[in-house]
């Protein structure tokens, strides 16, 4: 079973978005109750207040003594004893910043990557039921039953989606050129991101495609289909069923492959003649 936390750590390592600890200290002046932390995208914090008279250290409780805005990196004191922070009081905030993406953001990318990587695939389990018949259970592949060899591929695909988000943000940057001769190539960030993402054979995308091709997984895997046959008498498609093992005693499962050509449908609403027994 792939743990989401392990995939998150692998993604952060791939895109260089590692967590960083921080320690901020603020002196009270009977003016402020809100303080900007040195980091944004805060994962967790531990806050305490040191007092001089009387000399003591009080650990603050979230949503009781303070409110944290993790995205903006701001702590707001709400306890009247510390709001505003008085003279002689010192607020100490120790925590960890998540970087460009929060864990919730990365878990969203992981969910998208698993759905894309395991699309149309399932794991087959053979067992004997309570009546002695041999059955086959088909479970769609999810993060819980994903084979361990495919865990890096899901992390690569999620990292690619993260880099596309960064590239979209960098796409609005423009180069800066001043009359004094200063030139700032801001578009270079976008070009470097696109080079790292790569295409079908280069970059992180090529790395994913190569491994997925070797394992025959992902959206580009080789699939085998059954050709559908038309009845010569009715001109209707003959039903197709899922192939089964010799000893599989479960009921047949009908397949409904997509039918192309709906764009050529007759919209005149003129009925066609139908002769029972010939066509219809």
The pLDDT of residue 263 is: 67
Distance CA 238, CA 230 (A): 6
The pLDDT of residue 129 is: 87
Yes or no: say if 111 and 54 are a contact pair by the CB < 8 Å rule: no
The pLDDT of residue 45 is: 92
Name the residue ranges covered by the structural domains of the chain.
1-18+100-222+229-255, 20-97
The pLDDT of residue 109 is: 95
- Render pLDDT for 213-251 as a digit per residue (tens, 0 to 9): 999 999 999 988 778 888 888 888 888 888 888 888 888
The pLDDT of residue 273 is: 64
pTM of the model: 0.74
The pLDDT of residue 280 is: 45
The pLDDT of residue 234 is: 85
Q: Average pLDDT per run of 10 along the chain, which is 280 residues long?
A: 87 90 92 91 90 87 92 91 89 90 91 94 87 87 92 96 94 88 89 93 94 94 84 87 86 80 73 56
Query: Which long-range CB contacts under 8 A does 100-106 form with residues at least 24 apart?
Result: 100/15, 100/17, 100/41, 100/166, 101/12, 101/17, 101/41, 101/162, 102/41, 102/43, 102/70, 102/71, 103/8, 103/43, 106/7, 106/8, 106/11, 106/12, 106/158, 106/162
The pLDDT of residue 55 is: 86
The pLDDT of residue 271 is: 73
- Render pLDDT for 85-102 as a digit per residue (tens, 0 to 9): 988 899 999 999 988 888
The pLDDT of residue 277 is: 45
């Amino acid at each position: 079973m792939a743990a989401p936390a392990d995939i998150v750590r692998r993604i952060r390592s791939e895109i260089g978005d590692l967590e960083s600890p921080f320690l901020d200290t603020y002196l009270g002046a009977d003016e402020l109750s809100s303080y900007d932390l040195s980091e944004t995208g805060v994962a967790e914090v531990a806050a305490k207040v040191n007092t001089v008279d009387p000399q003591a250290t009080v650990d603050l409780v979230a949503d009781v003594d303070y409110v944290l805005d993790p995205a903006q990196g701001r702590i707001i004191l709400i306890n009247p004893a510390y709001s505003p922070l008085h003279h002689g009081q010192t607020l100490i905030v120790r925590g960890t910043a998540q970087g460009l993406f929060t864990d919730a953001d990365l878990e969203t990318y992981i969910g998208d990557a698993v759905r894309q990587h395991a699309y149309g695939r399932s794991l087959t389990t053979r067992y004997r039921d309570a009546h002695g018949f041999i059955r086959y259970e088909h479970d769609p592949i999810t993060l819980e039953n994903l084979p361990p060899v495919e865990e890096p591929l899901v992390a690569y695909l999620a990292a690619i989606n993260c880099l596309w988000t960064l590239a979209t943000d960098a796409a609005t940057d423009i180069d800066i050129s001043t009359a004094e001769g200063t030139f700032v190539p801001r578009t270079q960030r976008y070009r470097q991101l696109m080079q790292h993402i790569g295409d079908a054979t280069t970059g992180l995308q090529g790395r994913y495609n190569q491994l997925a091709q070797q394992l025959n997984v992902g959206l580009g895997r080789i699939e085998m289909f059954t050709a559908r046959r038309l009845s010569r008498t009715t001109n209707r498609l003959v039903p197709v069923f899922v192939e089964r093992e010799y000893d599989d005693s479960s009921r047949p499962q009908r397949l409904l492959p997509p039918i192309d050509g709906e764009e050529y449908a007759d919209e005149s609403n003129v009925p066609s003649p139908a002769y029972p027994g010939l066509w219809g």
